Amino acid sequence: MTEADPEELARALSGESIARGDPSGWFERLYSAAEGGEAVVPWDRGAPHPLLVDWAETTRLDGGDRRSLVVGAGLGSDAELIAGLGFRTTAFDISPTAIQMALDRFPQSEVQYAVADLLDPPEEWRRAFDLVVEIITVQALPRSVRAEATAHVRDFVAPGGTLLVISTALGDGDDPNSGPPWPLTRTELEAFAGDELEVRHIDRFPHPDEPQIQRWRAEFTRPA
């Protein structure tokens, strides 16, 4: 595989990993290949996700020294944005290589980067964060573990806290098995609600460069 076909490499690595019964083991292999210049991480934009930037500006998001958690932080751009807004930010990824690359990219960072598994997160993170940001991580996992991953994301949100989810939307006629990442249906998106977490907004946006691709941005809140 070469840099010219990052999506093909991701499909190959994920397929091998899932076949071994390890739904998330392929992330480390992908980031390791990227670190060695043998691959490109297909979802790395080199900047915060535009729908996160827009949401932060529209809501006039101000951390006020509250706690935030960025799920599946990858190379850190989204976490750095949130930390820059005043949140005491923790960001995690299952890939040690991804975390090291984020630290190398942002050597003066105030983010607390950690290696952790969304399917087996630290107990002390339960209902501990005022803002939880989940971008594409759950949709990068196969549907066999998606409900479990969704429940853990939901459980990070503290009383009075907010969960922001951004993902690709599964469109009419789309192949639900074409991935990774595998786009979310509206039902899968709404599954982040529950256990006292409530839907506040669900919006759908066309991709600015590929209008046929739709993206979800959903906000959930837990009553104080």
User: Which domains can be identified in the chain, with CATH numbers?
Assistant: 45-221 (3.40.50.150)
Q: What is the pLDDT of residue 178?
A: 66
Give the contacts of 58 (CB within 8 A, at least 6 positions apart): none
Query: Can you spell out the DSSP letters for 34-45?
Result: HHTTS---TT--
Residue 220, sorted as left (phi over 0), alpha (psi -120 to 50) or beta, turns out to be beta
Residues 217 and 166: beta-carbon distance below 8 Å: yes
What does the pLDDT read at residue 21? Answer: 73
Average pLDDT over residues 99-116: 97
18 or 159, which is more confident?
Answer: 159
pLDDT tens-place string over residues 148-161: 999 999 999 999 99
Query: Which residue carries 């066999």 as its tokens?
Result: 144
What confidence tens digit (pLDDT) does each residue in 167-216 have? 999 876 676 776 677 889 999 999 999 999 999 999 999 888 777 789 99
Average pLDDT over residues 109-126: 97
In 3D space, the residue among 70, 27, 88 whose CA is nearest the CA of residue 165 turns out to be 70
Contacts of residue 181, defined as CB under 8 A and 6 or more positions apart, other chains included, come to: 43, 136, 139, 140, 167, 168
| Mean pLDDT over the full length of the chain | 89
**Residue 115: Cβ within 10 Å count:** 14
Q: What is the pLDDT of residue 134?
A: 98
Whether residue 30 has pLDDT greater than 50: yes
Per-residue confidence (pLDDT) for residue 164, from 0 to 100? 98
Give the global pTM.
0.91
pLDDT in tens, 40-82: 787 788 899 999 999 999 999 988 889 999 999 999 999 999 9
Residue 18 DSSP symbol? H
Q: Alpha helix (H) ranges present in 70-215? A: 77-84, 96-105, 143-155, 186-190
Q: Which residue has the higher pLDDT, 16 or 50?
A: 50
Q: What is the mean pLDDT of residues 99-118?
A: 97
